[in-house]
Structure 1
Amino acid sequence: MRRRSKKKNLILAVVLLVGGLYLISHSDILIAGIRSDKPIPNELSWQADRLVSKVSWVEQGDYLPLNVSYQLLAGAPSTQQRYLSIGLSSVKRTKGSYLTHTLKSLFSQSSPEERSSMVVVVLLADFDVSWRVNTVREIKTAFASELEQGQLVVIHVPQEWYPPVRGIKRNYNDAPNRVSFRSKQNLDYSFLIHYSAGLGQYYLQLEDDVLSAKSFLTSIKRHIEKQEAKKTTWAMLEFSALGYIGKLYKSADLPLLARFLFLFYQEMPCDWLMTHFRQLLTQKESVLLKPSLFQHMGTFSSFQGTYNKLKDRDFEEGVYTNPPAEVYSDMSTYQKNFPQLAWNAGEGFFWGRSPETGNYLTVVFRDPTVVTGIYVETGSGGKDLLESAQVEIGHTVINTESKKTCKEFQSVGSLKNGRFEIEELDKTYGSVSSCLRIQVTAGQKDWVIITKVRIKTKPTTPPHNGKL
């Protein structure tokens, strides 16, 4: 009997040993939390270490620990801190995907010097393994260079690190599925921000369905320098008016922000929480900078694929293209909001007192120009709109005692609700123009703000001189 018992124990030990060796050899699958008969790529099994910044008192003493483990799916961040880290979270959408388009916009709109000063962190926050595998494969194919140079990092947080997102409190009478979605999103952002805290001097929060303006990093750097020169307290700068898009933070504040979003994840949407966080850090008013550097491009929301048509009207994607010009107006100017500011790039605008019939704002081009499109925007927050005016193009510049203008003008349309837009103007008015004029056609008691006057142009054809 003893011999049989020893024989059974020996067989059992051998089985356990073989089983243990099998589990060790397939530990990459277990680490990724995957139960599948299909082979799973190794990119889902790498463990990621955070680059911890000791600027924050929270990190210095390991106070308020935020327990979370990251998986590195693609890329590897540099151990040297860069100027800007950019974070965006992505989940599987029922209708289409915008992630690769967003990443292409970020990198294509940046110069090589700008790309070397930033790192983009993508959190794949969906628990669908096959979606993550396919998404990582697409990213590796499209952004091999950025991954290799440490400009792009893709991470994931396993589901076991998330607190409950179902069956939780319902504030604002939101439906249970809506509460779960926004609560999960708060946790996604918390983990993303926590990971990104040491990667850059500043942190920019984006979503996975945005377009970027040309040289957005250089614009951000310029605005930060201006803000720092004011010697005033700031916690968040906004480069888009929409949602949680284009919000910039100092990296020293990120450990607190990550914990703030985590602690109050059930209470309200992230864009409401960010306002409370900014106020707690003693920045009373928002600092919204224009023109916007990021535009929402998604048609369908990540929440149940619902239709989403939000657009930022202050977004300007390309390099500013208005040609050199002088701007004149006979409307009384309020303070230093001069007519030229409506034409120039930046946050400025023209602000005039109550206009009368016949008042104008005239743009005189330095060189004759073929105008293909015109966009005029007036008012601010629904107030100070220019209610009645027509837009004209002019020819043959003439000089008067105090200004330049054009000898003759022709109307191309009228403002509606304070705005005007026309495309393919050259097909109807093919010749070159020397002026653009906005002329008031009915007086109003309200003051008027002309926010921006933008034109599109095409090269003029040089005269033929008979030489080949």
Structure 2
Amino acid sequence: MFQSALLSPPDVVPRNKQTLVDCVFQGWTRSAPKQLSWQLERLVSKESWAEQGDYLHLNVTYQLLAGTPSTRQKFLTIGMSSVKRKKGSYLVPTLQSLFSQSSREERSSMVVVVLIADFDVRWITSTVREINSTFASELDLGQLLVIHVSQKWYPPLTGLKRNYNDAPDRVSFRSKQNVDYSFLIHYSAGLGQYYLQLEDDVFSAQNFLTTIRKHIEEQNAKKDRWAMLEFSALGYIGKLYKSADLPLLARFLFLFYQEMPCDWLMSHFRQLMTQRETILFKPSLFQHMGTFSSFQGTFNKLKDKNFEEGLYTNPSAEVYSNMSTYQKYFPKLAWDPGEGFFWGRSPGRGDYLTVVFLEPVVVAGILVETGSGGKDLLDSGQVELGQDVFTAAMKSCKTFQSLGAFMNGKFEMREVDKRHGSASSCLRISVTAGQKDWLIIRKIRITTNVKEQKNS
């Protein structure tokens, strides 16, 4: 018979008292108060046929180790599972990154669910204690839940098929990981309108939730069916699903748990849900921080080259330059998100790259980075803001005001709006002295003051 903590309430111990794990360790449990049971009822949408008739039973009981489930559905559920590593833990820094990079409004729109997917009771106890002490506010506000599933609910994890000639211990590891994710996703169904899968060793970009919301709205406006949006190119990091699809995804991972790794299974699921091509957004919103893998503590230096920690807010614009461009390294690549850049041949005094905004904006912050590996830096140059667009051979502005010069190939300025509060129509990078070296403009990033913009 189907069992779930959200249908059959788990053993719960208040966070400010002894944790459930402590109680289990001493051989006793405390039943959940009846008044909590209504809070724990599943909020899952009945759009899923698997839930409508309770088809494809997934027998599992959850233990709620910390946190208070919200009585209302959030916009986004973020799920991750965590196991004991041989060389330290990244779980707490990962959670700190998620919450610290989010505004108060964003935190109120999300819930992070952590499945403690290990069976070492002492490690579970110490981990839950650290989470309780570090994230007291988030736990009280229903923004963080910590759950656990007993080993008895897991299918066989040894003696499995050795597909791809993987070693037996590798097969056991990746098969258990699939089951971990299956249980995690099944629990999370309906807690939010959308579900984001992360690993427990990542750090996030600033205001990632706002960026995700924007991309979801844009994707839904296209009216093309999608099953998975990707906000990182790595593994099972930054993959987003609709809550209505989670019951099927949970059962899919469970059904094929021993066949292949989870990041391979997710691609098959996407295709089965009739989304043929990947939908990957750049820059990536999540970066892998772990150095040592959860599998045998092996060294892992995997990084996402498209990650940008700061929020990408560049408005729509056209980009022009009078510098000779090398091959296909066009000026606009320095403005667009991702790893692209502008590469020009030896610039002379008076050469420029001009960004012309489609709509005037109040610029609050500017970051311009040039060069690569210490080469092709802009030796002498300045950044300027302009007004009054006109069109000649190229679009530009009639008047410009200098903000300052480059230092060691980089220009960065905050609170620009306090000096230059009116809306600008152009941003120009001007070369103030010729150089023999070529020039790479790797990144132009601005932040805008939306409030001032509306008032101007």
TM-score relative to the length of structure 1? 0.71
Map of 2:443 onto structure 1: 453
1:299 aligns with 2:286: no
Map of 2:369 onto structure 1: 374
Map of 1:242 onto structure 2: 234
Deviations 1:308-366 (A, max 9, x none): 11111111112348899984224799xxx97346325x4696799xx877698725799
Change (3 A) 1:309 1:396: closer
- For the residue of structure 1 that corresponds to 2:254, the secondary structure is helix
1:131 aligns with 2:123: yes
1:72 aligns with 2:67: no
Map of 1:92 onto structure 2: 84
Map of 1:211 onto structure 2: 203
Map of 2:421 onto structure 1: none
Instruction: Name the amino acid aligned to 1:276.
Output: H
Correspondence for 2:186 among 174, 177, 194? 194
Please give the alpha-carbon distance, in whole angstroms, between the structure 2 residues aligned to 1:64 and 1:240.
31
CA contact 1:170–1:176 (8 Å) conserved in 2: yes
Correspondence for 1:185 among 177, 183, 187? 177
Map of 2:429 onto structure 1: 435
- For the residue of structure 2 that corresponds to 1:78, the secondary structure is coil
Deviates more, 1:395-404 or 1:243-252: 395-404
Correspondence for 1:394 among 381, 400, 420? 381
CA contact 1:325–1:363 (8 Å) conserved in 2: no
Deviations 1:246-291 (A, max 9, x none): 0000111101100010011101110000001001111111011011
CA contact 1:165–1:180 (8 Å) conserved in 2: yes
Please give the alpha-carbon distance, in whole angstroms, between the structure 1 residues aligned to 2:308 and 2:192.
26
Shift of 1:411: 10
- For the residue of structure 2 that corresponds to 1:182, the secondary structure is helix
1:108 aligns with 2:103: no
- For the residue of structure 1 that corresponds to 2:147, the secondary structure is strand
Gaps of 5+ in 2: 1-10, 387-391, 413-426, 448-456
Aligned positions of 1:335-350 closer than 5 A: 339-340=331-332, 342-343=334-335, 346=337
Map of 1:8 onto structure 2: none
Please give the alpha-carbon distance, in whole angstroms, between the structure 2 residues aligned to 1:377 and 1:255.
46
- For the residue of structure 2 that corresponds to 1:100, the secondary structure is helix
Please give the alpha-carbon distance, in whole angstroms, between the structure 2 residues aligned to 1:280 and 1:115.
33
Change (3 A) 1:338 1:57: farther
Instruction: Name the amino acid aligned to 2:55.
Output: Y
Correspondence for 2:260 among 254, 259, 268? 268
Change (3 A) 1:241 1:33: same
Aligned positions of 1:291-330 closer than 5 A: 291-320=283-312, 327-330=319-322
Deviates more, 1:70-79 or 1:238-247: 70-79
Please give the alpha-carbon distance, in whole angstroms, between the structure 2 residues aligned to 1:229 and 1:294.
25
Aligned positions of 1:278-297 closer than 5 A: 278-297=270-289
Please give the alpha-carbon distance, in whole angstroms, between the structure 2 residues aligned to 1:43 and 1:389.
66
Deviations 1:376-431 (A, max 9, x none): 689xxxxxxxxx96544415979997558999xx9999xxxxxxx8799xxxxxxx
- For the residue of structure 2 that corresponds to 1:257, the secondary structure is helix
Please give the alpha-carbon distance, in whole angstroms, between the structure 1 residues aligned to 2:385 and 2:42.
65
Instruction: Name the amino acid aligned to 1:314.
Output: N
1:362 aligns with 2:353: yes
Instruction: Name the amino acid aligned to 1:374.
Output: E
Please give the alpha-carbon distance, in whole angstroms, between the structure 2 residues aligned to 1:271 and 1:222.
25
Change (3 A) 1:325 1:270: closer
Please give the alpha-carbon distance, in whole angstroms, between the structure 2 residues aligned to 1:290 and 1:32.
41
Shift of 1:126: 0.2
Report % sequence identity: 62
Deviations 1:199-253 (A, max 9, x none): 1110000011111111111110100011111111211000001110000001111
Please give the alpha-carbon distance, in whole angstroms, between the structure 1 residues aligned to 2:441 and 2:301.
23
CA contact 1:121–1:196 (8 Å) conserved in 2: yes
Please give the alpha-carbon distance, in whole angstroms, between the structure 2 residues aligned to 1:332 and 1:284.
39
Please give the alpha-carbon distance, in whole angstroms, between the structure 2 residues aligned to 1:339 and 1:162.
54
Map of 1:168 onto structure 2: 160
Shift of 1:136: 0.9
Change (3 A) 1:231 1:317: same
Instruction: Name the amino acid aligned to 1:435.
Output: I
- For the residue of structure 2 that corresponds to 1:313, the secondary structure is coil
Aligned positions of 1:35-50 closer than 5 A: 38=26, 50=42
Shift of 1:51: 3.8
CA contact 1:44–1:73 (8 Å) conserved in 2: no
CA contact 1:239–1:292 (8 Å) conserved in 2: yes
RMSD, matched Cα? 4.7
CA contact 2:370–2:441 (8 Å) conserved in 1: no
Please give the alpha-carbon distance, in whole angstroms, between the structure 1 residues aligned to 2:65 and 2:181.
18
Deviations 1:37-64 (A, max 9, x none): x577869999976443312111011111
CA contact 1:394–1:406 (8 Å) conserved in 2: no
- For the residue of structure 1 that corresponds to 2:84, the secondary structure is coil
Shift of 1:112: 1.4
Gaps of 5+ in 1: 1-25, 379-387, 414-420, 425-432, 444-449, 458-468
Change (3 A) 1:394 1:277: same
Residue correspondences, number: 395
Deviates more, 1:388-397 or 1:197-206: 388-397
Deviations 1:416-454 (A, max 9, x none): xxxxx8799xxxxxxxx97366999899xxxxxx99514
